[in-house]
Chain A
Amino acid sequence: QQQVKQSPQSLIVQKGGISIINCAYENTAFDYFPWYQQFPGKGPALLIAIRPDVSEKKEGRFTISFNKSAKQFSLHIMDSQPGDSATYFCAASRGNTGFQKLVFGTGTRLLVSP
């Protein structure tokens, strides 16, 4: 119930292509879904987040698509660049618990080839 399943584990995309990472969750109480980007030796950096009252959110080249009925959400990176090569984590949390706790997916290692 607390798991967030993420796929694929790794992804190679050519420069200029679209990178797509998918996540699925079981707990319908989750109501906040952030994506984090992590470079080697660094902490995760918040990239973009969505709440279930919208089906899509776009910030620059990054878009989250959210399907509440399927309990799935995905990250699309348009015009992927070598600088986007990093590990991406989806996460989920509940807003009515009175505390902050993120449940993370297992991560996707993205390599954008020049």
Chain B
Amino acid sequence: KAGVTQTPRYLIKTRGQQVTLSCSPISGHRSVSWYQQTPGQGLQFLFEYFSETQRNKGNFPGRFSGRQFSNSRSEMNVSTLELGDSALYLCASSLDGQGVTEAFFGQGTRLTVV
């Protein structure tokens, strides 16, 4: 069974640009959640999607958005990039999205904003 696939693995963007990251969950998993990992703030929850609906959102500005498609693949978008958005962005998939189910992470997308 293939794991969680995130593309691209690395990105370098300029301040003010926008970026789209992609996540393909484990086959059969319907919940996709996104996390930002930085040395200073650790792992922080961005948002979670289930059956194409955003069910919960973390404490991030509106520049961070996402969506989920009918095949459960998800994308997140960051507009008007700031230097502080440089981070490892991680996607996790789980079977049905309830809090007690296992969540499996992808390898992440390393975003560098210059």
Residues of A within 8 A of B (CB): 31-32, 34, 36, 41-46, 49, 51, 89, 91, 93-107
Contact = CB atoms under 8 A, between A and B. Distances in A.
- What does DSSP make chain A's interface, helix, strand, loop or mixed? loop
A102 B100 contact: no
Contact of A96 (B45, B50, B99): B99
18 contacts: A31-B100, A36-B105, A41-B107, A42-B108, A43-B6, A43-B106, A44-B105, A89-B42, A93-B100, A95-B100, A97-B56, A99-B97, A99-B99, A100-B48, A100-B92, A100-B94, A101-B33, A102-B35
Contacts of A45: 105
Contacts of A41: 107
B109 to A, nearest CB: 10
Interface in B63-78: none
A99 B106 CA distance: 19
A36 B4 CA distance: 15
Nearest to B31: A100
Interface residues of B, number: 29
Nearest to A51: B100
Nearest to A89: B43
Contacts of B31: 99-100
Contacts of B42: 89, 104-107
B1 to A, nearest CB: 14
A111 B108 CA distance: 23
Given A31-B100, A43-B106, A46-B104, A101 B90 contact: no
Contacts of B105: 36, 43-46
9 nearest A-B pairs in the assembled complex, by CB-CB distance = A95-B100, A43-B105, A99-B55, A104-B43, A93-B99, A95-B99, A32-B100, A99-B56, A94-B99
Given A46-B102, A106-B42, A100 B97 contact: yes
Interface string B3-39: 0101000000000000000000000000101010000
A101 B56 contact: yes
A20 B105 CA distance: 24
